[in-house]
Amino acid sequence: MSRLSRKATNNHCLFSLQVSSASATAVDSPTNGLPSNQAPLPPTPPTSSSPSASAAGADAELPRQRPSRVSLRKQTSVVHANLEENYDAVTASNHEALLQLLDQVSGRRPVPTALRPLEHNPALAFTHFKVSPETHVTCGRRAFLRATHRDQPVLLMLSSEPAATPAASLPPVAMFRDLVQGHLLPRASTGSYTSAMQATVWVLPPVTVRPLWEVVCAQPEVVGPQQEQQVCLLLLQTVHHLLQLQARGQTFVDRSLCELVAADAEGDPQSRLVAVYGNYEGRQKLTGCQAALAVMLRMLGVQDALERVTDGRGVSVPDVPSLNAFELLANLLLREDAAALGRARAVLEFLLWGPADLELTEGEDALQRWLDLERATVLNNLIRTQKLWSVELSVLEEFRLMFLVNTDAATLRDASELLDI
């Protein structure tokens, strides 16, 4: 079975696959070819054509010599007993560096220069923004509005909940509480649409927000690897946020999936899913597995995906190029056990970025070497292409980085065995 036509997938991956020569040198030749127990030979003293000068030079004290780079390195760096320890030290350092980059990317996204005055303004008020009511979008207990602040476009997220939590994966530039007209607030959280009431307002970068189900229904027909990659990436984001909601103790989501919205940023062809936290009281609920399965089936062209998932009429995956892979995902999600979402995430990551040229018989050692090489390659590319304290990644790049940081050889092997590669 073709795994999303690996060549096509790799063409769409924004990372190159060239190995850093600096990393290879650090692993293979820590002492520039000299054995660890052999000091560099001193330079030969200058010779003289006069015999008397030679004799005098023999008796005189040799001039002090500057220590070589090799000897300096031995004094200032950690010396490992063998090549294997050197390799382990380098790969551990690469993994730690990628982890720090991921924390930086996911924890605090760069604030556009034009919006930095808002970040440090303690006296913000709703009247400071010129809103566009026609852009009003409601998702559960959140409302989104496009607005401008001193001619700078922003997105406002509104909630009438007093202790509301900001949206995950979309950190706000600023937050404040103020009086807001009732008709601009989510109807699920207020019964008054005319009078003003206290609300929490988050100021976000200017992105376009759409409900997740609207994005899912608008997916193009799956006819090749490119469309399958889009389906897998959006489904991976859905599973990721459902797992985060579970970690917060929220085991059910609303049938409308209003807890998840899609944010479209300029310059990124992929939608970024945003989890909108809140206390939802809808009577129609879905488990995390049901929600993920409904999203997958609807993107594959099943019009009544929600009904099929909830009423027990049975689930069948349409005929798509990677039918076996999507049937496997459907079977995993139908189990409804605690590990189902986690295993589905591992399979999706393997489909998107896993090795295409390794045999199962090679075992975990080969998968670990592949993973070490991928981490070194991605780290090298990030160092060459990104600013040190302002790393900006696309959705595809960020989730690949997350995959390289969090996965291990055992998880890769389990996913490959499930896919029977």
The candidate with the shortest Cα–Cα distance to 97, out of 400, 383, 410, 350, is 383
pLDDT at 48 over 80: no
What pLDDT digit, counting tens, does each position of 55-89 carry? 444 445 555 555 444 444 444 455 556 777 888 99
Res. 376 pLDDT band, cuts 50 70 90: very high
CB-CB neighbours of 279 under 10 Å = 11
pLDDT for the residue 52: 47
Range in 15-19, 63-67, 329-333, 379-383 with the lowest mean pLDDT: 15-19
> Which pLDDT band holds residue 249 (cuts at 50, 70, 90)?
confident
- Residue 362, pLDDT > 50, answer yes
pLDDT tens for each residue of 107-118: 767 777 888 889
Which of 289 and 311 is assigned the larger pLDDT? 289
Taking residues 142-146, report their average pLDDT. 93
CA distance 144 to 202: 10
d(C-alpha 132, C-alpha 135), whole Å: 6
Tokens in use for 152? 């700078």
Instruction: Tell me which DSSP letter residue 168 carries.
Output: B
Q: Are 235 and 299 in contact (CB under 8 A)?
A: yes
Q: Which of 59-73, 187-201, 230-244, 303-317 has the highest mean pLDDT?
A: 230-244
Two tokens, residue 283: 């009577």
pLDDT at 373: 96
Name which of 166, 167, 210, 163 is nearest 189 in CA terms.
Answer: 163
Cα–Cα dist 108/250, whole Å: 24
Give 262-272 pLDDT, tens digit per residue: 999 888 889 99
Q: What is the pLDDT of residues 125-139, one digit of tens each?
A: 999 999 998 889 988
What is the pLDDT, as a whole number, of residue 248?
87
* 28 or 96, which is more confident: 96
Longest dimension (CA), the chain: 110
Answer yes or no: is pLDDT of 411 > 90. Answer: yes
Q: Which of 39-43, 96-100, 246-250 has the highest mean pLDDT?
A: 96-100
pLDDT, tens only, 155-196: 999 988 776 676 667 788 999 999 999 889 986 454 555 688
Which residue would you say has higher pLDDT here, 243 or 361? 243
**pLDDT band at residue 385 under the 50/70/90 scheme:** confident
The whole-number pLDDT of residue 49 equals: 46
- Amino acid code (one letter) for 355: P
What's at 127, amino acid-wise?
T
Alpha helices in 13-66 (DSSP H): 21-28, 51-59
d(CA 6, CA 15): 14
pTM, full prediction: 0.77
Average pLDDT of the residues in 3-11: 48
Q: What is the pLDDT of residue 25?
A: 40
Three-state SS at 134 = strand
The first and second tokens of residue 382, run together, are 């990030």
Q: Is residue 410's pLDDT more than 90?
A: yes
What pLDDT, on the 0 to 100 scale, is given for residue 104? 84
